Structure 1
Amino acid sequence: MLPICSLVGNGSACNPDFVVFVYQYTNIRREVVKITDVQAFHLRGDIEALPDSSMEALLVKISTDAGIVGWGEADGSRAINKAVIEAPFSSPVVSGLRHLLLGEDPMNVTRLWKKMYDSTIYSGREGAVIHAMAGIDLALWDIKGKALQVPVHQLLGGCFRSRIPAYASTLFEITPGKNADLARKIVDDGYTAMKMGWQSFGRGPLADDIRTIEAIRHAAGDATGIAVDAGFAWTPKEAMRRAQAFEPYNLMWIEEPLVPDDLVGYERLSNFVPTEIAAGEEDASVNGFVRLMNAGIDYIQIDLTKTGLTMAMQVAAIANQRGLKCINHNFSNHINTAASLHFLAAIPNAFILEYGYNPAEIARTLILNPIVVNDGYVDVPMEPGLGVEPDLSVVERFLVRG
């Protein structure tokens, strides 16, 4: 039998009392801990004129016969994610995910990922099925951490860091002046970096974008990191033109200037401009991320609610071998935030945490113990599992019925 320290990672968890507890637990748990239910809760608030993905949520709850409950989150199309989980068995290569997990041992996280992956060949491999698997994967890691009474990052190998720098992530305002006001507020709130994206940015004249970035840089100061999310607005040639024009403003990165599958365009752009390029939030396969790496992307942007931790750790290891930094994508709620913190804490090539600056009401109220930014940093959760729990009254309030 492996030493218990190698099962839960290294560090402070390895004390004699803890080892005795977990040794006793692991000797009995395989007879008693089984998955009894997998539930998907689609939450939806008011979809506003300028919508973002924090206005919806798809929560995954996994229950066990030991009374341990795990929570995860899946992004993408929440209605489709729910259908993928709840669909019945059809054939060995077409199955709903709930059917595959009932009666299984939740501690076998990696084996269950492979079981889901192999049993959805006709419907999955990338996209919505993997997104649904990601929500389940996060819930399984949450259960495993709670069962062993350790935070998830210990299960992933331990911490490289206990605090992660965070940047404020938000949408652009409608005028340069309003964007400048927003930048000042973000700096006043203690952030040392920010990202603004979407809206009309990149979709009008280049001069408008320059005025916007100039106003933000002037308001935020030279020491503040500034990134922009172009939201697939450009062709490769237009991206080259605009990236060159933005160089005087020393951007931290330009995010997703091209559509996600324009790999030739990304390679041309990455070879042409000195400004670093971030992409990957749409990817939901190891192969997809490798293709982006081969195209010359500088920052590998992983959304844990689309990949799960199991896949994300594989992607991060490949990126690290190539000398590339990983960042998270998060425009949903604090289940994603917590999972991202454990992930970024446990890998050597983490850079910075995306933190939703002014999300919709669901994201603001969903978690009983929300994660907060202090002086531009976020502490990595040290509670067992992911370290966050949903407010069930909020789940009930926003639940889509029928």
Structure 2
Amino acid sequence: MKITDVEVIPLRIPEHNIDIADGIQDDVIVRVHTDEGITGIGEADSSPLVVKALVEAWSSWPRCRGLREVLVGRNPMHVEQLWQEMQTATLWLGRNGAAQQAIAAIDIALWDIVGKATGKPVHALLGAAYHERVRVYASTLFTEDPAEMTDVGEKYVERGFSAVKFGWGPMGRSLASDVKLVETARRAVGDGADLLVDAGCPYTAREAIQRVHAFADYHPFWFEEALEGDDLEGYRQLSRATRGEMRIATGEECALNAFEALITHGEVDVIQPDVSRAGGFTECRRIMLMAQRHHRLCVYHAWKSGILVAATLHMAAITPDIPFAESTVCESPLRRELVKVDTTLQNGTATIPQAPGLGVELDEEVLNKYRMDK
């Protein structure tokens, strides 16, 4: 089997609003085509047109190459070899940013091909499956309106979610307003559900420490993205000042080396790799195993379409102590309509896809409706 093309499809909804922290207002889908008629599907949580440029660029020299040129004519079954060659080819393009995200989309698509060719779900190719179902948390945004937040939290608990995350929005304006947000969120989900708080990186270390102490009465399961992921000294101060009081979580924008630094130098409790950012399945499996060695929780970030939902569930299946996976509950058609996913959500848990490959099918009508290149 040989790769014949790498197709990049940028998507965007017409009502895109740059002022809200909703990453599923646009998307970039990658399809890897083969001479045997098997097509793999992937996506990147990145800038769609930047990923398209990275894939379609011509090659300048061996460490600065377009990813399509690296892949066409190669055997898609050799996923880990191709992953390493893509890493080498993008050394001069900034591995830990958009290039890593473009590689992630391709890697997801390659593993989809391997699964379809062998008749196995991706998780069966990656390692032993510890779970057939996994608990999921509803992931939503803080809002300006306490009544709206209350309705949202109550709604997801009534739907069966036993954990709800509120994030971003007005968080970070002042200590008093932040406490009010967390208090409202806790009241909305009740004492029987886990509450997760995602700040969206607005603080200094000193401010983040203040928030942990102030939020402690509301018992968040974790405090996420208080600081930017490369602020290792800030995370060290935050982790040491709040040890035992609240779990510190971060890293949705990171890859393997950055995660190891966050654990060994930043001393965080929970790392959050995103399969569509951190280099795909190939790298996320390494990240998960590294977290296991350091006795840290590995809980995957996921705020894209059903492609990433499926990819995240496959990773969750092989992660022994994962407490839950992220379930984006936004109403974007790119989240709700773009793909059919081989999973069911029931009583706050999701089944792990069992169909060959990822277990997703693209809705071509929805794809064509929102593509930016037509």
TM-score, normalization by structure 2: 0.96
The aligned residue for residue 324 of structure 2 is: 352
The aligned residue for residue 236 of structure 1 is: 205
Structure 1 residue 368: Cα displacement: 2.8
| 1:239-281 Cα deviation digits (max 9, x unpaired) | 0011100001100111100122111000100111121111010
The aligned residue for residue 53 of structure 2 is: 83
The question of 1:126 aligning with 2:104 is answered: no
Partners of 1:172 and 1:199 within 8 A in 2: yes
The aligned residue for residue 40 of structure 1 is: 8
The aligned residue for residue 377 of structure 1 is: 349
The aligned residue for residue 388 of structure 1 is: 360
The aligned residue for residue 210 of structure 1 is: 179
Alpha-carbon distance in 1 for matches of 2:11, 2:342: 18
The aligned residue for residue 271 of structure 2 is: 300
Match of residue 282, structure 1, among 223, 244, 253: 253
Partners of 2:166 and 2:185 within 8 A in 1: no
Structure 1 residue 221: Cα displacement: 1.5
The aligned residue for residue 271 of structure 1 is: 240
Range 364-373 or range 171-180, more displaced: 364-373
Alpha-carbon distance in 2 for matches of 1:350, 1:62: 30
Structure 1 residue 211: Cα displacement: 2.0
Range 256-265 or range 134-143, more displaced: 256-265
The question of 1:326 aligning with 2:295 is answered: no
Partners of 1:175 and 1:212 within 8 A in 2: no
Please give the secondary structure, in 2, of the residue aligned with 1:303: coil
The aligned residue for residue 162 of structure 2 is: 192
Structure 1 residue 370: Cα displacement: 6.6
Alpha-carbon distance in 1 for matches of 2:149, 2:352: 30
Range 319-328 or range 207-216, more displaced: 207-216
| 1:350-381 Cα deviation digits (max 9, x unpaired) | 22110001241211110134744210000000
Structure 1 residue 51: Cα displacement: 4.9
| Structure (1 or 2) with the larger CA radius of gyration | 1
Please give the secondary structure, in 1, of the residue aligned with 2:361: coil
Match of residue 363, structure 1, among 323, 329, 335: 335
The question of 1:261 aligning with 2:233 is answered: no
Partners of 2:342 and 2:359 within 8 A in 1: no
Unmatched tracts of structure 1, length 5 or more: 1-32
Please give the secondary structure, in 1, of the residue aligned with 2:307: helix
1:5-154 alignment runs, 5 A limit: 33-45=1-13, 46-48=15-17, 50-154=20-124
Alpha-carbon distance in 1 for matches of 2:87, 2:181: 44
Alpha-carbon distance in 2 for matches of 1:359, 1:109: 34
Alpha-carbon distance in 2 for matches of 1:74, 1:242: 32
Give the partner amino acid of 1:287.
N
| 1:30-73 Cα deviation digits (max 9, x unpaired) | xxx10011010000112135351111110000011111110000
TM-score, normalization by structure 1: 0.89
Alpha-carbon distance in 2 for matches of 1:318, 1:379: 25
Among all aligned residue pairs of Structure 1 and Structure 2, give the percentage whose two residues are the same amino acid. Answer: 39
